Amino acid sequence: MAAVSKVNTRTLVLTALFIALSLVGSYIKIFGSIAFDSLPGFLAALLIGPIHGAAIGFLGHILSALTSGFPLSLPLHLVVAVTMAITMLGFGYTFKALKNKVSDTINLALTSVIGTILNGPVSLTFSMVTLALMAGKEAAFGLLPLLPILTLASIANIVIADLLYVSIGKVWKVQTIKNNKRD
């Protein structure tokens, strides 16, 4: 029989908490629907795991777009939400893959570069392709000026998530070990 992933009450509550924090972050706008909604997803990808980070990243973007009135259309924001989920998966799995292979500082630095690339240029490319299919090439190229803003917003979200991880990471590990021993 295949192993079943154990999702406990603590993990569900933490995931819900991070989703709520994404909603709060969605109100801290940088430009249009670009906000601090992804910060909780990045932090959760480090603390809880990539899958939970992906769900939080997806919902965080949807909440941010909702608070902005879906300025780029619902279909395009759904694509962005999917790329946010992919970003969190790439970010979280990169962190896990490098753990115990490089120092924590180098791990966070390399993971942050991957997260920034996925959340900035890669996400924008998917959005541009989608918009090109929906409205034509000219409309798609209208998104290109967002690249510097998206990249800076990605860096800000990731750096703050990294700083929070460094601040609470050791306490988090100890608490997780204690909770696992109780289960």
- Residue 45 sits in a domain whose CATH number is 1.10.1760.20
AA identity, residue 69: G
Looking at the chain, the number of H-run helices and the number of E-run strands are: 8, 2
Reported as a pLDDT band with limits 50, 70 and 90, residue 29 is: confident
Residues paired with 35 in a beta bridge? 29
pTM score? 0.88
Q: How far apart are CA 88 and CA 7, in angstroms?
A: 19
AA identity, residue 48: I
Reported as a pLDDT band with limits 50, 70 and 90, residue 30 is: confident
Annotate 3-37 with b (16+ C-beta within 10 A) or e (fewer): eeeeeeeebeebbeebbebbbebbeebeeebbbbb
Asked whether residue 38 is domain-assigned, the answer is yes
Average per-residue pLDDT in the chain?
89
Domain span at residue 163 reads: 16-173
The number of domains in the chain is 1
Spatial CB neighbours of 95, under 8 Å, sequence gap ≥ 6: 45, 46, 107, 108, 111
Lowest mean pLDDT among 70-74, 102-106, 133-137, 148-152: 70-74
92-100, Cβ contacts within 8 angstroms, sequence gap of 24 or more? 92/45, 92/46, 92/49, 92/50, 92/51, 92/53, 92/54, 93/50, 95/45, 95/46, 96/49, 96/50
Residues paired with 34 in a beta bridge? 31
Asked whether residue 74 is domain-assigned, the answer is yes
- What proportion of the chain, given as a percentage, has pLDDT over 90? 74
Asked whether residue 34 carries a pLDDT value surpassing 90, the answer given is: no
Tens of pLDDT, residues 166-179: 999 777 765 665 56
- What proportion of the chain, given as a percentage, has pLDDT over 70? 89
Asked whether residue 8 is domain-assigned, the answer is no
Asked whether residue 6 is domain-assigned, the answer is no
Reported as a pLDDT band with limits 50, 70 and 90, residue 25 is: very high
Tens of pLDDT, residues 39-88: 999 999 999 999 999 999 999 999 988 988 888 889 999 999 999 999 99
